[in-house]
Chains A and B, each alone.
Chain A
C-alpha cells in the first residue's frame, strides 16, 4: 500500500542554519505530494505541494522537489528562523485511494536563537 517515511526527529538547529527534512514515499500511480506545518496547539497548514515529477513546490523560503526516480520529496530551507519551530508533515494523495492523504509521522523542528 501507499506510505510515507519521514526522518525521525526532533531536529534542533541554530538560527540561520540550513534545513533538510527527508521524506520518501511508496505509491502506485502518480501521487501528489505535500508538506504541512503544525504550530503548537494548532491545526495543520499547507506549506507547499507538487503534483507531478520534477515539480518544485515553494513557500516562505521552503522548497521541495518531486523526485520520481528516488521517490523523494525532501523539504529544504536555506536559513531557518526561530519562528520556523514547528512539526512538519510530509503527505501524499493518490487518486486511487479517493484522494485521501497518507501522512508521515511528522518531524519536530526546534530553532534556537
Chain B
C-alpha cells in the first residue's frame, strides 16, 4: 500500500538533546512538508522540499533542520535551540500536480522534559 510513514508514534527526550523524526513516503511524490501542531491549534509549516537536495524554510523554521537526500525520505531534526519542542509533528507529501492536495502521515508526538 502506498502512503506516508512516520516513526516513532511517541517520542520522549530530555531538554538539551537533539532528536530526529522520520518521514518516509512511497507515493513517488516530489514535494514533502513538515508541520507542527500544538493542542487546539492549526498547522504551522516548519520546512518543505520541492525536490531532492533542496528545501526551504517555512513559517517557524528556527530550531529545526531537515535534509532531503532521497526522494522518499525527509527527516526532521528538532535541535536543542528549539525553545518549545513539545508538540505533534506531521509530515506530508504532494505530487505537485494540478490541485496540490497533500497526503499526511500519522504524526509523531514529541515530549521534551
Q: Which residues of A contact B (CB under 8 A)?
A: 32, 34, 36, 41-46, 49, 51, 89, 93, 95, 98-101, 103-106, 108
Closest 5 CB pairs of A and B: A43-B104, A99-B100, A93-B100, A105-B42, A32-B99
- Closest B residue to A45 by CB, please name it: B104
Task: Tell me the chain B residues, 83-110 only, with Cβ under 8 Å from chain A.
Answer: 90, 92, 94, 96, 98-107, 109
B43, B99, B106: the one contacting A42 at CB < 8 Å is: B106
- Number of inter-chain CB pairs below 8 Å: 54
Q: Say whether B45 faces chain A, with CB atoms less than 8 Å apart.
A: yes
Type the 1/0 row for B25-63, where 1 means its CB is closer than 8 Å to any CB of A. Answer: 000000101000000111101001010000000000000
Shortest distance in angstroms between B96's beta carbon and chain A's nearest beta carbon?
6
Shortest distance in angstroms between A45's beta carbon and chain B's nearest beta carbon?
7
Bound-complex Cα distance A77 to B100 (A): 24
Please state if A101 and B102 are interface contacts (CB–CB under 8 Å). Answer: yes
Query: Count of chain B residues with Cβ under 8 Å from any Cβ of A?
Result: 26
- Closest B residue to A97 by CB, please name it: B100
Please state if B102 and A98 are interface contacts (CB–CB under 8 Å). Answer: no
Please state if A106 and B104 are interface contacts (CB–CB under 8 Å). Answer: no
Shortest distance in angstroms between B27's beta carbon and chain A's nearest beta carbon?
13
**Complex interface: chain A residues within 8 A of B96 (CB):** 99
B42, B45, B105: the one contacting A43 at CB < 8 Å is: B105
Bound-complex Cα distance A44 to B4 (A): 12
> Beyond A42-B106, A44-B90, A100-B48, is A34–B101 a contact (Cβ under 8 Å)?
yes
Shortest distance in angstroms between A16's beta carbon and chain B's nearest beta carbon?
27
- Closest A residue to B97 by CB, please name it: A99
Please state if A99 and B94 are interface contacts (CB–CB under 8 Å). Answer: yes
Centre residue among B31, B42, B90 by max chain A CB count within 10 A: B42
Please state if B101 and A106 are interface contacts (CB–CB under 8 Å). Answer: no
| 24 interchain pairs, CB-CB under 8 A | A32-B99, A43-B6, A43-B104, A43-B106, A43-B107, A44-B90, A45-B104, A46-B102, A46-B103, A89-B42, A89-B43, A93-B99, A93-B100, A93-B101, A98-B50, A99-B31, A99-B94, A99-B100, A101-B100, A101-B102, A103-B42, A104-B42, A105-B41, A106-B42
